[in-house]
Amino acid sequence: MLELRDITAGYDPAAPVVRHATLALAPGESVGLLGPSGCGKSTLARVAALLHRPDAGTVTLDGTPVRGWRHRAPRAQRTAIGVVFQQPRLSADPRLRLGDLIAEPLRATRRRDEIPERLAELAPAAGLTPDLLDRRPHEVSDGQLQRACLARALVLRPRWLVCDEMTAMLDASTTAALVAAVEDYRAATGAGLLAVGHDHVLLHRWCERTLHWNDLTTTRDPEPVWLPAEVGLP
């Protein structure tokens, strides 16, 4: 179980964009989080992916509270979650060829011997031909680069996937291909999915359960309640 309970988070402690958010994702479940741009759902997704420390609240992974974030998270927790961001060009090292980009997590976890096997599995699953693996990000389209980013997210065989607006910048055919690749992986492994976006049609078709941002969080202070003055008081 991946549980976020009473999460408050943001980049300015005085003005958090997420307030008191609670979300639970069961193993193998696919949950869509629907909300308008700028509401804070991407920040919550980063908290779920252990990439952003919340100001308050708790994250629990398989019954164990999360104590560290980013590189300070225990490896077992850090590698249990794969994440795909909205803008592949901001999440890909422009110096790396796509094959090296996909293999990057394996090198970081000292599992270099697995690289040939995993590339052979993931490149076709993500729709990448062998010639594309030798190209750098500036030599491929956004859709091709996002396919590589998805393969990178899957390379450590995560048990949870966080897809933050993964298809927002892509055409319909590439969107369908990436969603199919995610679902093939989930069918094979039983991984849970948190898909964040603002396309309600896509999320309703993709996910077993769709939540609206307003269902799980408070993003602003409540309006003050003005009580009428007592009549007849001096």
Q: What is the DSSP string of 41-53?
A: HHHHHHHHTTSS-
Sign for the pseudo-dihedral over CA of 81, 73, 97, 43: positive
Nearest residue to 86 (alpha-carbon basis) of 163, 138, 154: 163
pLDDT of residue 214: 87
Burial 61-87 (b: 16+ CB within 10 A, else e): beeeebeebeeebeeebbbbbbbbbbe
Average pLDDT estimate for 66-83? 91
pLDDT of residue 169: 85
Lowest mean pLDDT among 11-15, 82-86, 151-155, 226-230: 226-230
What's the pTM?
0.87
pLDDT at 22 over 90: yes
Nearest residue to 80 (alpha-carbon basis) of 108, 50, 119, 44: 50
pLDDT at 7 over 90: yes
d(CA 35, CA 214): 8
pLDDT at 211 over 90: yes
Q: Provide the pLDDT confidence category of residue 35 given band limits of 50, 70 and 90.
A: confident
Q: Who has greater pLDDT, 175 or 222?
A: 175
User: Are 217 and 40 a contacting pair, CB within 8 Å?
Assistant: yes
Helix (H) or strand (E) holding 175: helix 172-189
Looking at every residue in the chain, the average pLDDT score rounds to: 90
Q: What is the pLDDT of residues 150-175, one digit of tens each?
A: 999 999 999 999 999 999 889 999 99
Q: Kindly report the CA angle at 29 between 24 and 31, in degrees rounded to 5?
A: 65
Average pLDDT estimate for 197-216? 91
Alpha-carbon separation of residue 231 from 114, 225, 226, 234 (angstroms): 79, 18, 15, 9
Q: Provide the pLDDT confidence category of residue 149 given band limits of 50, 70 and 90.
A: very high
What is the percent of the chain with per-residue pLDDT over 70, rounded to a whole number? 92
Nearest residue to 109 (alpha-carbon basis) of 67, 152, 47, 50: 152
pLDDT of residue 218: 56
Average pLDDT estimate for 100-109? 95
Q: Give the CA diameter of the chain.
A: 86
pLDDT at 176 over 60: yes
pLDDT of residue 188: 96
d(CA 146, CA 60): 29
Q: Which of 68-72, 75-79, 97-101 has the highest mean pLDDT?
A: 97-101
Q: Where are the alpha helices (DSSP H) in 49-171?
A: 75-78, 88-91, 98-108, 115-125, 142-154
Instruction: Please state, as a whole number, how many other Cβ atoms lie within 10 Å of the Cβ of residue 219.
Output: 17
Instruction: Please state, as a whole number, how many other Cβ atoms lie within 10 Å of the Cβ of residue 8.
Output: 18
User: Are 137 and 145 a contacting pair, CB within 8 Å?
Assistant: yes
Average pLDDT estimate for 193-216? 92
